[in-house]
Structure 1
Amino acid sequence: MRAHTRQLVAPLWLLSLSALALFATLGAADTTIQSRDTSSTCEDIASAISSASAVFWPPEYYFEEDIEHYISSSSQVSTCSVEPGTAEDVGTILQILGSTNTSFAVKGGGHASNPGFSSTPGVQIAMARFSGVTYDASAGTATIGTGLVWDDVYAALEPYGVNVIGGRVTGVGVAGFTLGGGYSFLSNQYGLTVDTVQAFELVLPNGTVTNVTASNVDLFWALKGGFNNYGIVTQFVLQTYPQGQVWGGSIITVGEVDAIKNATSNFYANVTDPKASIITTFNWLLGVTTIEVNIFYDGPSPPDGIFDEFMAIPAIDQDISTRSFLSLVLSAPSNATTGLRGYFNTVSLYAITPSIMDAIVNETEFWSSTLAVDVPSLFISYDVEPFLPGVFSHGNASAWPPTRAQGVLPLNIYYAYSLPASDALVSQAMQESASFLTQFAVEDGQDVANAPRYPNYAIYTTPLERMYGNNVARLAEIKAQYDPGNLMSLCGGWKF
């Protein structure tokens, strides 16, 4: 374990101030030019789109809604926002953006954790009007708009007694989650969300609306994990599965670190029932470490023994019951940090062992004590996510994961805070923590030095090869085929 006296590379205040000065210097002149040129582009879009779509300007209400993100550092003040209401209008918008070389962003649910990935000082495309959920009982599929969050999808499908493979906590957007892979409470049974996609409605960079299925081998493969490199996805067709009542909810404890560590590593080592799932989260806020465990069983009650160790731990709050799937997702207090700045980062593991649990707790304590004085409103969270080793066995080849030989357990690292001056310091700390834990896991016997990182959690500095491995070259070739003018480079995100 690392000593709590270790120092960062440079003094904390110097990193923060120098980063703030750099961003201010680089951004001032460019923003003025961008706004003046982009206003004309916004007017061109407003004139060209149909009545199903609309352009909004600051400080209009819908403009503010269109640019807002769960993590405030993921938002930027755009020149205008546009809400397309048809796929054809998306094509029109793309053509105007390309002809004027205007930067833009595409926002689905607004849960992006990397700055500039779904925001821009240019034209903000908000997919809010793509909000339909249509269940086809004969096909066993649901067609889902990319402007939704998973809460909306679960609510729409609940009356039919079916579900799709989606997010585990409230507020997570459908679009980025699906295009990046998608781990679910149901993944041990059915795979990742990308494994259940039957079709993508995609607007290509040339403005053409197309339905991408498995018959289009390259493009279908690339969209399963390749994000927005190939155009703008407006709808997904997902496989549905029967869904009855589930059992679970959340347990919150203070002062029970050892008991939770043991219960979590024992769950991973011993529970093989694919209907059972947990997320163990070590949180630090205001000098107190609290632990939240989200428990899930896909049935009205679990078999004896699966969760007994967790249920026996003294809790300050326990919300466990038989309930609907939607009720369970809504029970997790995951929106408590809404509006703060922050980042995600990740470590890929192959096993949850007692020693790696010790290291994760140590990191929570080390970075909270190191950063607390210098980072106002600091919140630190390490989320441990056990899955069965065969979690990748349910799907076929896809852009992500680049290999399905062994299931990856994605550790989610999340730091939140209040001030822009802390951006560089927090980013550096999170990257150092991920590197430390990766090396610790290697020394502990896990061959994860080159394990693919989960792109939905990876911090913005992560090299493409660390997520997509040998798939990078093929993804770039497909990108060049469908976007020869490189239009999609005008928006943020992972770019091939």
Structure 2
Amino acid sequence: MADPQLDALVKAGLQSLLVYPSDAEYTERQRSYWAANAALGPKAIVLPRTAEDVSRIVKALAEVDGKAAIRSGGHMQWAGANDIHDGITIDLGRMTNVTYDSQKKLASIQPGARWGHVYDALEPHGVCVAGGRDANVGVGGFLTGGGNSYYSGRVGMGCDSVANFEVVLANGDIVNANATENPDLWKALKGGSGNFGIVTRFDLKTIPATPLWGGMRASPRSAGDAIVQSVVDFTNDNEKNPETAYIINFTYNPSVVPDVVIASVMVDTLGKEDAPIFENIKKVPTLFQDVKSRTISDIAKAYVLPSGLRQTWFTLSFKNDGDVVKKAGELHDQLVEELKALLPAQNFVTQCLFQPLPTFFAKRSVEQGGNVLGLDSVPDNALLWLLTGTVNTEEHEKIMEEKLSAFAKSLEEYAKSKGSDIPWLYGNYTDKTQCPFSSYGAANIDFLRKVSAKYDPAGMFQNKFVGGFKIPKNQA
């Protein structure tokens, strides 16, 4: 039986870019998703290499019925974020070029690249960019979703470093979006995800590739109170040392340590070894540590999360309140014990992370033209929370999802009881049941709707392209 989507792509001369379920490359691309639960088995994958290829694909699919999804690096963890079953997946995985213009001090990066490759390509030029902290994370989703990096205190979110987006619109036009050309689209793409077109090139402002100092420290669970105080103090003091970054993580990972530990990552992006802001943190006892001077590429590769497993993530934000962090630690202890009663103790991993989100991060964003994330409306220093669970089977994934959802609700209720909740969600961490756009604020949602109506009047990227989060149709 004829298939309208496949026929349209072949008719457009795109046969050489198509791979089917019987092809080896199809199998390879499906296996290359970071989370095993994200790959959905489309009826075909189309693999463009250039913006012109993407334009022809979009024009062909616009003419016929049928749904499509867009994938760049494929690191988003929930089913439906970047793949489709009964439809076409536009896989940007062949678009991995990275070039550097020393005159403009801009790095031009195609969307299918991953951050480890980007750092390696830019290092010989003595520059780097505000990209992902995990080498395996893809460029496209990270940047259009916001992009929290080790450099956020210096230059804002990753999206704020985008000087220009090259975008294929719903009608197939290839346009630029920057501060002077389509500036409304430029702002909307900084946090607006895949709702306006397909970004085929990011031109990013660069910074000198100074060696970093830092890495991971693992402390016993008994050091919890000291570490909680350290992240609260760091968040309040971060603006004095914007070049530094800090993350804490209550984690159960039996392949490393059989008990719950608290891992922390501290980084000085200017390479200073003994920054005063880390003085008290370094006094906390450790089980082991991996702290040294290294490149951004090295640290990103050192902390790559394992791929090919089933992932569940939830995220929330809170005021910088140590009691909320302690409560999360207690709930995490309970979670691990509950999971041990339901799953083999060696078959799951959990993480309960807190990252500083001080108000000055948003100031950096505004200085560079602003974005649509809505962080500039959050009046208090905050903490970004991420809860993750990793398992091997679909059956265990359902158990993990139920337990993590209950954990998130309990922690949110506790924070609300103390007046410490913040209704802001980071889109790159959200579960499919959470809608980040609803947390961006009414003005930003209205702006996103207007930009969508202007550049995609038929709503192709709202309706035909089904992956990822969509702009809310009604005011939240």
TM-score normalised according to structure 1 size = 0.85
Preserved contact between residue 277 and residue 387 of structure 1 (Cα < 8 Å): no
* Aligned equivalents of 2:228, 2:5: Cα separation in 1: 54
Number of the residue aligned with 2:155: 190
Q: 1:72 aligns with which of 23, 36, 44?
A: 36
Task: Please state if 1:293 is matched with 2:264.
Answer: yes
**Gap regions ≥5 residues in structure 1:** 1-35
> C-alpha distance in 2, partners of 1:363/1:345?
14
Residue deviations 1:311-335, cap 9 Å, x none? 3444333211111121122222x32
1:384 matched to 2:354? The reply is yes
In 1, Cα distance between equivalents of 2:437 and 2:139:
25
Answer whether contact 1:49 1:93 (CA < 8 A) is retained: no
Q: 2:449 — aligned with what?
A: 476
Give the AA of the match of 1:360.
A
Residue 461 in 1 paired to residue 433 in 2? yes
Taking the aligned partners of 1:466 and 1:380, their CA distance within structure 2 comes to: 27
1:356 to 318, 321, 324: 324
**Aligned counterparts, 1:364-383, within 5 A:** 364-375=332-343, 377-383=347-353
Which residue matches 2:77? 113
What is the DSSP-based 3-state SS (H/G/I as helix, E as strand, rest coil) of the residue aligned with 2:124?
helix
Aligned to 1:372, the other structure's residue is in SS state: helix
How far does residue 481 in structure 1 lie from its aligned partner after superposition?
A: 2.5
2:403 equivalent among 418, 429, 438: 429
Greater mean alpha carbon deviation, residues 314-323 or residues 71-80? 314-323
Q: Residue 247 of structure 1: which of 184, 202, 213 is its match?
A: 213
* Number of positions where the alignment pairs a residue of Structure 1 with one of Structure 2: 454
CA contact (8 A) 1:181 1:401 kept: no
Name the residue aligned to 1:168. Answer: 133
Letter of the 2:6 partner, please give it. C
Corresponding residue for residue 310 of structure 1: 281
- Trace 1:319-338 onto structure 2 (pairs within 5 A): 319-332=290-303, 334-336=304-306, 338=307
* RMSD of Structure 2 on Structure 1 (CA): 2.3
- Amino acid of the residue matched to residue 91 of structure 1? S
Q: State how far apart, in whole Å, the 2-side matches of 1:97 and 1:372 are.
A: 48
Which shifted more, 209-218 or 306-315? 306-315
Amino acid at match of 2:400: V
**Measured at CA, do residues 480 and 375 of structure 1 come closer, stay the same or move farther in structure 2, by a change above 3 Å?**
farther
CA separation in 2, counterparts of 1:296 and 1:90?
38
* Matched AA of 1:66: R
Q: Distance in 2 between matches of 1:237 and 1:404?
A: 27
CA distance in 2, matches of 1:64, 1:436: 40
Code of the residue aligned with 1:393 in structure 2: it is K
1:167 aligned counterpart, secondary structure:
coil
Which of these residues, 158, 171, 174, is aligned with residue 123 of structure 2? 158
The aligned counterpart of 2:245 is 277
Distance 1:296 1:59 in 2: 46
Gaps (5+ residues) in structure 2? 472-476
2:366 aligned with 1:401, yes or no? Answer: no
Native 8 Å contact 1:188 1:387 kept in 2: no
Match of 2:309 in 1: 340
Q: Which residue of 1 aligns with 2:394?
A: 420
Equivalent residue, structure 1, for 2:474: none
Q: Secondary structure at the match of 2:260?
A: strand
Partner of 1:231: 197
- Equivalent residue for 2:20? 57
Q: CA deviation at 1:269?
A: 4.0
Q: Which runs of 4+ in 1 moved over 6 A?
A: none
- Tell me if the contact between 1:225 and 1:401 (Cα under 8 Å) persists in the aligned partners: no
CA distance in 2, matches of 1:174, 1:298: 20
Q: Does 470-479 or 370-379 show the bigger shift? A: 370-379
CA drift at 1:83: 0.8
Distance 2:467 2:396 in 1: 22
Provide the C-alpha distance between the structure 2 equivalents of 1:348 and 1:486, rounded to a whole number of angstroms: 31
User: What's 2:458 paired with?
Assistant: 485
Structure 1 residue 46 displacement after superposition: 4.0
Moved more, 190-199 or 371-380: 371-380
- What's the CA shift for 1:222? 1.3
Give the TM-score, by structure 2 length.
0.89
Is the 8 Å Cα contact of residues 182 and 194 (structure 1) preserved in structure 2?
yes
CA distance 1:73–1:447, shift in 2 (3 Å): closer
Task: State the Cα distance separating 1:464 from its structure 2 match.
Answer: 5.1
- Structure 2 SS opposite 1:105: strand
Report the secondary structure of 2:170's partner residue.
coil
Cα distance in 2 between the residues matched to 1:185 and 1:210: 30
Task: Give matches, 1:138-149, under 5 Å.
Answer: 138-149=103-114
Counterparts of 2:275 and 2:142 in 1: how far apart (Å)?
33
Residue type of the alignment partner of 1:429: K
1:42 equivalent to 2:6? Answer yes
Task: Measure, in 2, the Cα distance between the counterparts of 1:112 and 1:465.
Answer: 16
Deviations 1:292-316 (A, max 9, x none): 2112112233335332333344433
- Report the equivalent of 2:227: 260
In the superposition, relative to structure 1, how do residues 289 and 405 fare at CA in structure 2: closer, same or farther (>3 Å)? closer
